[in-house]
Amino acid sequence: MTFTTNIFKPKEKKSKTIFIVEDNPVFAKVLKTYLLAKFTDVEDVIIFPAGEVCLTQMHLNPAAIIIDYFLGTTCDDAVTGLETIVQIKAQKSQANIIVLSAWREEEIPLETIKGHDYSYVEKNVEAFKRVERLIRVSW
């Protein structure tokens, strides 16, 4: 290729992967469908029903990790969302984590969330739009 060909060659879009860590399969599938519709450049949205499974795939370097704060409701021995966040941050300190919960942020004891760099979204009618905005800001 010549110099001018390289200048005018369209840039390729970066592929992006989003993780959803959610033990409610219906909610996870609806969120995945929403994200795929809103982010046409997303390569994949991968759903994990438990934090332990997500942790084994961190080598994929997801652009965003959307995680339920109260994981483990369907599997008694599963780690919680907070425990998963701590382990994700230990592996990838710059990970973009968005926490979803049916609880309002002020209902969660502050000492449990201090020092765990993440965004918080309450599960309500605006949750998907807020998640979308947080992902767009981070890209």
User: Using one digit for the tens of pLDDT, what is the confidence trace for 111-133?
Assistant: 455 566 788 888 899 999 999 99
Domains of the chain (ranges plus CATH)?
15-138 (3.40.50.2300)
Place of tokens 């710059």: 94
DSSP per position, 103-117: S-GGGS-HHHHTT--
d(CA 42, CA 103): 29
Q: Which residues contact 131 (CB under 8 A, 6 or more apart)?
A: 31, 35, 66, 98, 100, 121
Mean pLDDT of 61-67: 93
d(CA 120, CA 69): 9
CA angle, corner 131, sides to 128 and 79, nearest 5? Answer: 100
Q: Which residues contact 98 (CB under 8 A, 6 or more apart)?
A: 64, 65, 66, 67, 118, 119, 120, 121, 131, 134, 135
Place of tokens 């652009």: 63
User: Using one digit for the tens of pLDDT, what is the confidence trace for 85-99?
Assistant: 889 988 888 889 998
User: Residue 8 — very low, low, confident or very high, per pLDDT cuts 50/70/90?
Assistant: low
Enter the pTM of the model. Answer: 0.80
